[in-house]
Amino acid sequence: MERLPTFERVDFAVSPANEDAVRAVDAWPQWPNGRLALIGPSGSGKTHLARAWAAEAGAVIIDATDPHQAPLNLPALRGRTVLVENADRRALGGVVSDEDLFHLLNMAGVDGGSLLLTAQTAPLEWQTIVPDLRSRLNAMTAAVIDEPDDVVLEAVLRRAFADRLIRPADDVYAYLLRRIPRSAPEAVALVALLDEAASEGNRGITRAFVAQVLAFGEDEAFED
C-alpha cells in the first residue's frame, strides 16, 4: 500500500544544493515587492518547498499548466498570498494568461499580498508579448535550487520508501547514492521498481537484492 505524498516542511532536506533558496523563501513576507520566483529543475524539490510555504502562508495555489484549474478571479486575489506553479509553462493549456500574470505581479506587495512563482527557467527567459510583463519579469528576484545532491537524494529515497511502507536495510542508501542519476524523479521511479520486484519475490530490500535487481555485479566497476 502506497501512502499519498505530502509536502510537510519537516520532510524537506536542506543541503548546499538548496540552502540559498530556502533562505530566500523563508524571508517572506519581506520579499522585494512581495514577489519571488523559485527556480529549479524537475524533481529538485521546488514544489515541496513552495507547497510548504503555501501551507504556512495560507496561499491560494494555482497550477499554470492545469487545464482544469478554475478561471482566475483576480479581484478576489488582491491582498492574498498566491502560489503559481509552473509559471514558465503557462502556455501549455492552463488558465494563467500573460495578462493574468501581469496583474498578479502588480497585486503582489499591495494590501499584504505576496506572490511565489515556481519554474524550471529564470523569469528572464520566459516568453511574453506583453511589454509591461517583460519589464516586471526582468526585475523579479529569483531563488535557484540546484540539481539534487546526496543529502537531498537520500531524503527523496527515504521518503519514497516510507510512502510505500518499506524499511530497506541501512546500507542500501549509500549503495544507491553511488549509482543513481542526480534526479529525484528517477530516484522515486527506482524505489517503485524495487518495491515491485520485492513484492513479486516476497523479498526484503537488501543491498544484495538491489544489486541483483539493477544488475550491478559485485565484481564490476562499482565494486566497493
Instruction: Convert the pLDDT of each residue in 187-207 to its tens digit.
Output: 989 999 999 989 887 788 999
* pLDDT at residue 176 tops 50: yes
* pLDDT at residue 5 tops 80: no
Instruction: Convert the pLDDT of each residue in 131-162 to its tens digit.
Output: 999 999 999 999 999 988 999 999 989 989 99
Strand partners of residue 85: 63
pLDDT at residue number 167: 92
| Vertex 138: Cα angle to 135 and 141 (nearest 5) | 130
35-39 and 114-119 beta bridge pairing = parallel
* pLDDT at residue 4 tops 70: no
60-63 and 35-39 beta bridge pairing = unpaired
Cα distance from N-terminal residue to C-terminal residue, the chain: 34
Handedness of CA 20, 23, 118, 63 (dihedral sign): positive
- Report which of residues 71 and 107 the model is more confident about: 107
